[in-house]
Amino acid sequence: MDGFDGAGPRLEEVFTVEAAVGKPIVVGQDGTHGRRQLIVIEGGTVSGKLSGSVMPGGVDSQIIRPDGFTELVARYAVKLDDGETVYISNTGIRRVDPSVAGEVAMGKIVDPKYVYFVTIPSFETYDRKYEWLEKSVFICYAMRLPDKVVLRFYEVV
């Protein structure tokens, strides 16, 4: 672990999750709140310093505002190759270029080059060897594709 050196924080990539997701379940939509939807996390892979699979049954709860700005909270679990599990809660935002805001507000997936998608994850671990995840700050840079979400987790060091 690096100590304070006065240079400021830097990011170290720790692992990547590729999560397979289902079709959005629209809870409701209006001109004031936007579009509330739930997206089931069906499975996926974990690679990097952590390696394993995404357990099915997680959910990403989103509210997509009329201007395309999205607030989200995803909660899911991963099973690592050594049999241990980690629960992840990922809270964040997604904003889009105004040229595609109308499409996004209606639930369409757009080219990731038009999207800023960043979250702040927190972890719950059940084995001492992974408690370091609970004792650092992480950010996650994400990309939504038609059938999955790719999430890159970085530790602030």
Cβ distance 52 to 60 under 8 Å?
A: no
Task: Identify the domain containing residue 62 by its residue range.
Answer: 11-156
| pLDDT at 5 exceeding the cut of 80 | no
Range from 1-5, 49-53, 69-73, 111-115 carrying the lowest mean pLDDT: 1-5
Tell me the CATH number at 140: 2.40.160.20
Asked if residue 65 belongs to a domain, the reply is yes
**Per-residue pLDDT at 3:** 63
Model confidence at 2, in pLDDT bands (50, 70, 90)?
low
Asked if residue 2 belongs to a domain, the reply is no
**pTM higher than the cut 0.85:** yes
Looking at the chain, the whole-number percentage of residues with pLDDT higher than 70 is 97
Asked if residue 25 belongs to a domain, the reply is yes
3-state secondary structure of 46: strand
Asked if residue 5 belongs to a domain, the reply is no
What rounded mean pLDDT belongs to the chain? Answer: 93
Which tens digits make up the pLDDT trace of 108-154?
Answer: 888 999 999 999 999 999 999 999 999 999 999 999 998 899 999 99
Asked if residue 6 belongs to a domain, the reply is no
Asked if residue 4 belongs to a domain, the reply is no
Asked if residue 3 belongs to a domain, the reply is no
Provide the number of structural domains found in the chain: 1
